[in-house]
Amino acid sequence: MKRPTITDIAREAGVSKGAVSYALNGRPGVSEATRHRITAIARELGWAPSSTARALSGGRAGAVGMVLARPADVLGVEPVFPALLTGIQRELGAASLILQVAPDHAAELAVYRRWHGERRADGVLLTGPRRDDVRIAELPRIGLPAVALGGPLGHPGVPSVRMDDAAAVGEVLGYLAGLGHRRVAWIAGPAVLVRSRVRAEAFAAVADRLGLPGARTVHTDLSGDAGTGATRRVLAGPHPPTALLFDTDVLAVAGLTALRELGLAVPGDVSVVAWDDSALCRLVRPALSAVRRPVAEFGALAVSVLRDLLTGGDPGDVCTSPPTLITRGSTGPPRPGP
């Protein structure tokens, strides 16, 4: 049986979810009569606070914050965010998620300081960790607990949740090498991101181990236009790659468009592998081979680590279940040639 939620209680009581939250957490904002009626309905429905909600109670705000410092054109088409938010909210249960978009990291830090000063968030989920990330040092300094979505960071004050991208890179390159590809290019995200560094380093190491002399990495931003441009550039040389690996599904779909505009067949001329395996990979033709990552689990695990941090634990960096390669029609053996 599905566990009753504050939405179920609000529907039964004929009040808002905010009123239910106030009543169940003993906060002002509802009358005593309404509080008694809501708590009685909660008991009748068998509602109990989740472990996260309990960790976020006891004088705390009862909320977790997350700021997305990404351009609107990237954020608006990024297909993995719904899965990430689903995992986060599933683990939060009755606790709240405060979500805000900021234009850059300076504005993001200002949001964190305001949340902490106003006691609006008990802790935050830090997105897109970067090399020499000033947020990693600043959040412990202001006293706001944080868990980074991505790593490893090796910072004792800010644990991270990560996926084993290095192993996934090894699986992809092993698969492509087995098909006969020797010239493989990685269309990677911004070099400043920790995840891009981890993947690029793994790509170089595995390519060297497998003896792929034509392997190369090209860094770009995460927009569709960037994916199209990077694909055209990497194919313009005298010895173009026979396989392309893209850092996101959006970049991969943009790259697929560029290949068609260049008159190249997929996978006849160039094989394509995407990263994340969102619905985009199954909607285009040919359907894209992709690395399927446990994105919802990633979000839920981050909340779980933050809960441990808030209750005095020392969780350290943790890893999700491993990503897996899903092969579809966009990959095949290279054409015979030099």
Using one digit for the tens of pLDDT, what is the confidence trace for 114-144? 998 888 899 999 998 888 888 888 898 888 9
Percent of the chain with pLDDT over 70: 90
**pTM higher than 0.85:** no
Query: What is the pLDDT at residue 1?
Result: 46
Mention every residue, 6+ apart, whose C-beta is less than 8 A from residue 28.
Answer: 22
Q: Is residue 235 part of a domain?
A: yes
Domain that holds residue 25: 6-48
Which residue stretches of 25-157 are H helix?
32-45, 51-55, 72-75, 81-92, 105-118, 134-142
CATH number assigned to the domain comprising residue 42: 1.10.260.40
Q: How far apart are the first and last CA of the chain?
A: 61
The answer to whether residue 59 scores a pLDDT higher than 60 is no
pLDDT category of residue 2 using cuts at 50, 70 and 90:
low
pLDDT category of residue 52 using cuts at 50, 70 and 90:
low
Query: What is the pLDDT at residue 180?
Result: 96
Question: In the beta sheet, which residues pair with residue 289?
Answer: 273
Query: What is the pLDDT at residue 49?
Result: 61
Mean pLDDT, rounded, for 45-62:
62
3-state secondary structure of 89: helix
With DSSP H G I counted as helix, E B as strand and the rest as coil, what are the percentages for the chain, rounded to 5? Answer: 45, 15, 40
Q: Is residue 35 part of a domain?
A: yes
**Residue 83: CA atoms inside 13 Å, Cβ hemisphere, count?**
14
Q: Which residue has the higher pLDDT, 238 or 282?
A: 282
- CB atoms closer than 10 angstroms to residue 58: 10
Query: What is the pLDDT at residue 203?
Result: 96
Alpha-carbon dihedral sign for residues 119, 87, 83, 169:
positive
E strands, 55-199, in order: 63-68, 96-101, 123-127, 146-149, 160-162, 184-188
Q: Is residue 324 part of a domain?
A: no
pLDDT tens digit sequence for 207-224: 999 999 889 999 998 888
CA dist 98 and 246 (Å) reads 31
Task: Check whether residue 173 and residue 186 sit in a common domain.
Answer: yes
Query: What is the pLDDT at residue 337?
Result: 66
pLDDT tens digit sequence for 7-38: 788 888 888 776 777 777 666 667 777 887 88
Spell out a b/e string for 239-275, using b for 16 or more CB atoms within 10 Å of the CB, else e: ebbbbbbbbbbbbbbbbbebbeeeeeebbeebbbbbb
Task: Check whether residue 85 and residue 191 sit in a common domain.
Answer: no
Averaged confidence pLDDT in the chain: 87
The answer to whether residue 236 scores a pLDDT higher than 60 is yes
Give the range among 35-49, 55-69, 87-101, 112-126 with minimum mean pLDDT. 55-69
Q: Is residue 333 part of a domain?
A: no
Long-range contacts (CB closer than 8 Å, 24 or more residues apart) made by 107-113? 107/69, 108/67, 108/69, 108/135, 109/134, 109/135, 109/138, 111/65, 111/67, 112/65, 112/67, 112/138, 112/139, 112/142, 112/144, 113/142
Structure-block tokens of residue 112: 């964190």
pLDDT category of residue 202 using cuts at 50, 70 and 90:
very high
Task: Check whether residue 179 and residue 278 sit in a common domain.
Answer: yes
Query: What is the pLDDT at residue 114?
Result: 92
Q: Is residue 328 part of a domain?
A: no
How many separate domains does the chain show?
3
**The amino acid at 124:** V
CATH number assigned to the domain comprising residue 70: 3.40.50.2300
